[in-house]
Amino acid sequence: MPSLDVNDTTLHYEDEGTGPALLFLHGWGTSGRAWDAQLPAFARGHRVVTVDWRGCGRSAHPARGNTVADVVDDLVALIGALRLERPVVVGSSIGGTFAVELGARRPDLVAGVVPVGAPGYWPSARAQAELVAALRRDRAGTVADWVPTWFAPGTAPALVDRTVRQILASGVHIDEHQVSAHLYDPRPALPGLRVPVHYIHGELDPAIPVEVARACAALTPGATLGAITGSGHMPHQEFPDRFNAALRAALAACRRP
């Protein structure tokens, strides 16, 4: 099981294929396994790295360092240690937030950013506080009730259940991301981004509505938006063939001189 010690924690990662580099970042509480439908499709022509970011999956679950800035620091260290040559960074949900922040902080390290169902901004501190309180009071019940709402109607129950189980297997300290979520707003930084950014979003996303992605794309120089028809918050899992086609288009745009 490949792992890397960075910034006082240990990250699990998978590294397959050769070619232009792709770095995939999963959403809150899941793991690199969220990209199982992309790994074989893209490893035929790319070097594909998936990572369980700190607190999640098979990586360590530290009590400290569960902030956007700390995860971005981990990614900078990971890119350096694995000698990834300017990957395109693909991030789902909060993973898309990490990808955007990485592109903003270190445009020299990445060739492009593809946020998937991200990045988001939440106007309600009260709603986030209620979610955090519910997680502390009844984590299993809250996750079981909440996660199905991420997916479009008709999604296979096994896919929803798999996501619930991954979250419950991750560390409780990742809840710090929910505590601070209402403070995050990417919009002021987007006009100044110096890397290509191409958004992919589920048309029916209830967690971060597609209107959010449209607003972000309008602020981002040269950005495009690919909407996945019929999909919720997890298009890469709900409709992998449609998503993979949209990602190939985004990668072509990112790599264009």
Average pLDDT, the chain: 95
Q: Determine the residue type at 18.
A: T
Model confidence, pTM: 0.96
- The total number of structural domains in the chain stands at 1
> What is the pLDDT averaged over residues 175-196?
93
Of the pLDDT bands very low, low, confident and very high (cuts 50, 70, 90), residue 126 is confident
pLDDT score, position 212: 94
> What is the pLDDT averaged over residues 110-129?
88
Statement: residue 145 has pLDDT above 70: yes
pLDDT score, position 176: 94
Structure tokens at 246: 């949209």
Statement: residue 187 has pLDDT above 90: yes
Q: What is the pLDDT of residues 46-92, one digit of tens each?
A: 999 999 999 999 999 999 999 999 999 999 999 999 999 999 999 99
CATH number at residue 113: 3.40.50.1820
Statement: residue 257 has pLDDT above 70: no
Q: Domain limits at 103?
A: 3-255
Helix (H) or strand (E) holding 68: helix 68-81
Statement: residue 10 has pLDDT above 80: yes
